[in-house]
Structure 1
Amino acid sequence: MKATYKILSMAALAVAMLGSCSDFEEINVDPSAAGDDAVHPDYSLNKSFYEAQMDPDIAERVFVYNWASIARVVGENTMGATARYNDQFNDRLYTYSSNWIKSATAAIELADKNKGSNDHEIGFYKNVKQIARIWRVMLIADFVNSFGPYPLNAFSGVAPKFNSEKEVFDFFFTELKEASSSLDLKVTPTDAEAKGDPAFKYNATQWQKLANSLRLRYALQLTEVDNAKAKSEFEEAAKLPLLTEAGDLFGFQENGGWSAYEGVMNRGWSDHCISSTMCNLLTGLGNISVKEIAEADKHTDLIEHIKPINYVGEKYEKHYPALTDNPTKQLWMDGIPEYLDPRALVVWCLTNDTTATNWPDQAAQGKKNHAKYGMIDPTDKDKKKILVKVDAAFTWNGYPAGSRSAWNPETFAFNQVLNNAWDTTPMLSKEYRNNSKKRIWMAPWETCFLLAEGAVYGWATPMGAKEAYEKGVKVNFTYYGLDKYADKYLASTNYNRVGTSVNFDHTTEPTDFEADYKDGYTKEAKKMTYHYPDASKILYKGHKLNDKLTKIITQKYIANTPYGVVQSWNDRRRLGLPFFEVPGNETTQTGSDFDGLFAPDSYKNGQKWHHFTQRMRYPSVFENSDKEQYQNALKLLGAEQNTMMTPLWWAIKK
């Protein structure tokens, strides 16, 4: 047990020593030379704020390769989404987050020891303690939602003992409730103090709103395992002040210089190609035509590439995996769909769209930005003969889940388009790569969608489900500068490629339709029946594609992209929403925790929880340091083995 304590304290402290910034150099008391009663508690909390934004080392390995991949926010990375892991990457989250939690815990303890030397400090330090409690809950939540059980007594001077997820969530509710009610809203921080909190400037009113909104978030996480507890906690918090307005965004400004404030997605070699999942959700959603958007933005060069919405592209049945329930499988859109969610071309940039204001110039990183690639003849023993070349300029296609040479040896080997996704698929906009955004931890639109979900269940809420839903969409459109499209968007009854529309009152289920397409090899125009996902076989227990809960979670997912990846993953594990296709697979899932759990054609029998990544593995450093607590954590998890395919306590288990 002592070894575990070292991992969760000394190792974390060592990591903390690696980071610094100018804000911390201004500290005028040397903590090593002063007693705890002289150390400002906010200094320790400021440190936690800073380091938790993730330096490039952990950001790429955890945020991108794991969280964002699993949430299908980025598609070119087949690691987290396909239950593949790297022990060193997992260790980054385990060790670094332990450090962040340690600093927040230290702030709480220091606030108890250093009461302040004047009236202002006395009031401010009391608030620092409550803010640290709120922040610590958020940090522990990311740990628990990634790994599972967590030791609540970590950093208390005794050997940590792991607690069940239920115990941890009970702790969350107690901490948030007490912290919210204990904040003194009359305390105004000095300019120097406010500087240490780049998100809310130590504004107690905003932190109180955050605490209450977090109670909604964590309450809804329990709907499938303890509905009574979820309802009770939710309704109590819903009566209180919440983050619901445009100015209530809780986020930290990204910055450069290889610091923790570096953008979590700003590594030049990371392509951040859009996923097929995301493309399906955004296509056709909202009745806002690309032509209308292009003309309004004076970006009319897009217009010649627009294709009618009932045209689904070119079919390449020899070059894309067939064993998946993706409704657009084996189809390549040789242009831009007539209708896209207005946010699509703000968050993402089309291939070769060099005049777009959000164009991410990957050529500066050694990428080509655009090229023609071939579909190789599968019968050619040398794998060199090109059947057809594909021009990916101004096309809308996502990287399909499960596309990997070990799993799809034939289609992957012969598909140069898929092998060169950085040249052939839309990529994340430059604003998310150049440190110009705030990394969002919680946004007002999320609170609105949480309220909408609660209202759909019939719980007591300050606004109705439709009002909350529409407000969530509008607040998010305001964030993107798309206000002018909001009303038309919310009235739309058009379906996206997975059968969901925007209009809250429009709950008619989609029906399959006759679609136009072309044979990719001969270019012959043909017709086919486009099949939406079979609602009877999806993971969502409501077995609907267009009910109100599906709309709420779909909009929440889109609005939270690209920063809210953990919450999107949580909704998928808890509800099976929004629709994710089963990863394509033609053989065995070599090198993945999926291996042995489902056969290549098992999607035909309907989606199951084991088709989707459930958690991250505890790193080997934990097992090697304290086998007793390692086994205790697995027991609490309900697992015999430490794999990515054990559902967490609150997740779907069917």
Structure 2
Amino acid sequence: MKNILRIFILASFISLTSCESFLGDNVNPNSATSATPELVLPNALTSSANLFMNFHTSAMWINGYTVNAGGYGGWGATVTYNMTTTSYNGLWSATYDDLINYEYILNTTAEDPSLAYFNGVARVMKAFNYAMLVDVFGDVPYSEGLKGAANVTPTYDSQTEVYKDLVSQLNSAIDIFTNAKGANSLGSADVVFGGSVSKWAKFANTIKLRMLLKMAASSETSAFATTEFAAMNTTVGFMTEDAKVNPGYIATAGKQNPLWERYHSNAAGTLSGSGRSAIPSKYVYSFYNGTKLTDNARGPLTYRSFNNSTPTGQLGNLVDNPAALASQTAWFVGTGTGTNAVATNGLLKGRTAGFPIMLAAESYLLQAEAYMKGFLAGDDLKAFENGVTASFRYLYSDIAGALPAGVSLATQLATYKADNATSYLVNYNLASSQAEKLEAIITQKYIANNFVNGHESWADFRRTGYPKIVNGSANPNLSFASILSSSPRADKLPVRYLYASSEFQLNPENVPTGIDQFSSLVFWQAQ
């Protein structure tokens, strides 16, 4: 591992103090000498948003949310899945860079009760980041992974043991948020929930729920999950609103909403390369346009020119895919172009919009699964419909989170159910088995997380096999696998990422070998 603890903490401090005036001939404005948890936390959370986006967008190319548009080359492993150890170097290093921030906060607040809430947030975000890392890499440096210069060749910990300890970290965080007395407010350092520790507790509980559902699927960890479910603090509750990072995004280079920057335009108004070269897959589009389901509410809020001329394609089709929309990205439903682009709702709400790292829709659908399987006591039908409604709310809401005048979410849900009157994927009460109920829950989570959380949707597919695909089919409505796939699997998909080449160079004695992107399963995967 890199010796970056001191450097990164000071860099965090510098980025937060760069606008201050430095006086005196002997003061170097580029060399900060100290940092505090209060200064490091907002930078860490903002970095986590960028990190999450990279996990999300890399998975979107695997799980069917995005495919290559025509007229662009150099797709390589994106369409063949022939990954190398250099494919995800940046994702690996960026995760540890961000984790160093939280480790610093944990170390500097451990013996200071006044900073207990900062300690709690660091525990939550450490679990959030590490869980994403395990979900695509498996075993990772954990117990020795964040020691900086004290250990530059850390051992790899078992992925199951990492998950177990992360759940313990979340339990500790929830206890801090609910029982700490006399702790300082998070205040403006909290760029997610504005200082609300009760919302942080719900967020922690929801991340824990997500992790336990994965652990329950594995024989290695199912007993642990059962015990944790039985002891779960349901009084704290789960997320009922979207968790969004917003440090004060502005229409300036490098300071915009990161998804807007990547898929719409830069601060100068130039349409991004990603926005031009990516289009929706026919597979995901079929959940909106009547091929699989009809969704006349979320369709127009998700795709430009919905059900008329939205460009769609198939991953790996290098010849016949249409070009992207002129001057726009397929996911922008607002008006205007360049710096004059204005959005009121949808996915790309604006340059200054908060960036979601977990939707309330996912929270409700996680609950629906837990209730349906008997892990927790609750009404799975109600949670399911709350999840769909929350998805409507996210897309309809404007940049400030307000719904347009006259929009009734109850009416939208009723119309959606009526338009799909015979489908148990929408009308949950029509599901006649646990398998059908699970398919409905995961399919609706796939739709809700479309272009929001590709990482988790890919994890759900690997864990449950939903949404359904027809293995080996070249029909773009039946499978999202690339038609140029080199995978020997029946579904023609990869199951994980390969370890970074930097690990083989700097930590060769410890990095696992013999890992294959088509056969080396993460512990919670079904097959």
- The TM-score bracket by the shorter chain reads 0.7 to 0.9
Structure 1: runs of 5 or more not aligned: 116-121, 285-311, 313-326, 328-336, 352-392, 405-411, 510-541, 599-607, 635-639
Structure 2 CA distance for partners of 1:75 and 1:135, relative to 1, 3 Å: same
Q: CA–CA distance in 1 between the matches of 2:316 and 2:499?
A: 23
The answer to whether the 8 A contact 1:614-1:647 is kept is yes
The answer to whether the 8 A contact 2:139-2:158 is kept is yes
Quick one: which amino acid aligns to residue 646 of structure 1? S
Deviation digits for residues 244-280 of structure 1 (CA, Å, limit 9, x no counterpart)? 42xx321113544343654235331223411122112
1:281 aligned partner: 287
Q: Over alpha carbons, which structure has the higher Rg?
A: 1
**Secondary structure of 2:110 counterpart:** helix
Deviation digits for residues 196-221 of structure 1 (CA, Å, limit 9, x no counterpart)? 22111232111111111111010011
Q: CA–CA distance in 2 between the matches of 1:597 and 1:203?
A: 48
Q: CA–CA distance in 2 between the matches of 1:27 and 1:178?
A: 40
2:463 aligned partner: 574
Structure 2: runs of 5 or more not aligned: 23-28, 70-74, 263-271, 334-342, 397-406, 476-481
Q: CA–CA distance in 1 between the matches of 2:506 and 2:427?
A: 54
The answer to whether the 8 A contact 2:257-2:352 is kept is no
1:420 aligned partner: 323
- 1:65-214 alignment to 2 at 5 Å? 66-76=58-68, 79-80=77-78, 82-85=80-83, 88-112=86-110, 115=112, 122-123=113-114, 125-152=115-142, 153-156=144-147, 157-158=150-151, 159-183=153-177, 184=179, 194-214=187-207
- 1:238-253 alignment to 2 at 5 Å? 239-245=234-240, 248-253=241-246
Deviation digits for residues 550-592 of structure 1 (CA, Å, limit 9, x no counterpart)? 1111111111222221111110110011124556669xxxx99
The answer to whether the 8 A contact 2:487-2:493 is kept is no
Does 2:479 correspond to 1:564?
A: no
Does 2:517 correspond to 1:647?
A: no
Quick one: which of 351, 363, 367 aligns to 1:435? 351
Q: CA–CA distance in 2 between the matches of 1:94 and 1:399?
A: 30
The answer to whether the 8 A contact 1:198-1:252 is kept is yes
Quick one: which amino acid aligns to residue 309 of structure 2? T
Considering Cα pairs closer than 8 Å and 6+ residues apart, tell me whether 1 or 2 has the greater RCO: 2
Quick one: which of 39, 42, 47 aligns to 2:38? 42
Quick one: which amino acid aligns to residue 382 of structure 2? E
**Secondary structure of 1:211 counterpart:** helix
- 1:283-432 alignment to 2 at 5 Å? 283-284=289-290, 339-350=294-305, 394-395=308-309, 398-404=312-318, 412=319, 415=320, 418=321, 420-422=323-325, 427-429=330-332, 431=343, 432=347
Quick one: which amino acid aligns to residue 569 of structure 1? W
Quick one: which of 222, 230, 249 aligns to 2:225? 230
The answer to whether the 8 A contact 1:493-1:503 is kept is yes
The answer to whether the 8 A contact 1:81-1:613 is kept is no
1:217 aligned partner: 210
Quick one: which amino acid aligns to residue 428 of structure 1? W
Deviation digits for residues 83-105 of structure 1 (CA, Å, limit 9, x no counterpart)? 24465551111111111000100
Q: CA–CA distance in 1 between the matches of 2:473 and 2:317?
A: 7
Deviation digits for residues 607-645 of structure 1 (CA, Å, limit 9, x no counterpart)? x4x522211221211111121111xx34xxxxx235355
**Secondary structure of 1:435 counterpart:** coil
1:501 aligned partner: 425
2:415 aligned partner: 488
Quick one: which amino acid aligns to residue 40 of structure 2? S
2:273 aligned partner: 269
Quick one: which of 623, 629, 638 aligns to 2:510? 629
Does 2:486 correspond to 1:595?
A: yes
Quick one: which amino acid aligns to residue 442 of structure 1? M
Deviation digits for residues 71-118 of structure 1 (CA, Å, limit 9, x no counterpart)? 2221227654652446555111111111100010000001136x3xxx
Q: CA–CA distance in 1 between the matches of 2:497 and 2:429?
A: 38
TM-score, normalization by structure 1: 0.63
Q: CA–CA distance in 1 between the matches of 2:10 and 2:191?
A: 19
Does 2:465 correspond to 1:549?
A: no
Structure 2 CA distance for partners of 1:166 and 1:501, relative to 1, 3 Å: closer
Shift of residue 186 of structure 1?
A: 6.2
Shift of residue 171 of structure 1?
A: 0.8
Structure 2 CA distance for partners of 1:32 and 1:263, relative to 1, 3 Å: closer
**Secondary structure of 1:647 counterpart:** coil
Tell me the number of residue pairs that the alignment of Structure 1 and Structure 2 aligns: 464
Deviation digits for residues 325-378 of structure 1 (CA, Å, limit 9, x no counterpart)? xx9xxxxxxxxx9x4341111011127xxxxxxxxxxxxxxxxxxxxxxxxxxx
Quick one: which amino acid aligns to residue 620 of structure 1? S
Shift of residue 422 of structure 1?
A: 4.7
1:303 aligned partner: none
Q: CA–CA distance in 1 between the matches of 2:133 and 2:484?
A: 20
Structure 2 CA distance for partners of 1:255 and 1:549, relative to 1, 3 Å: farther
Identity of aligned residues (%): 17
RMSD: 3.7
Q: CA–CA distance in 1 between the matches of 2:17 and 2:507?
A: 37
The answer to whether the 8 A contact 1:212-1:240 is kept is no
The answer to whether the 8 A contact 1:44-1:103 is kept is yes
TM-score, normalization by structure 2: 0.77
Structure with more strand by fraction:
1
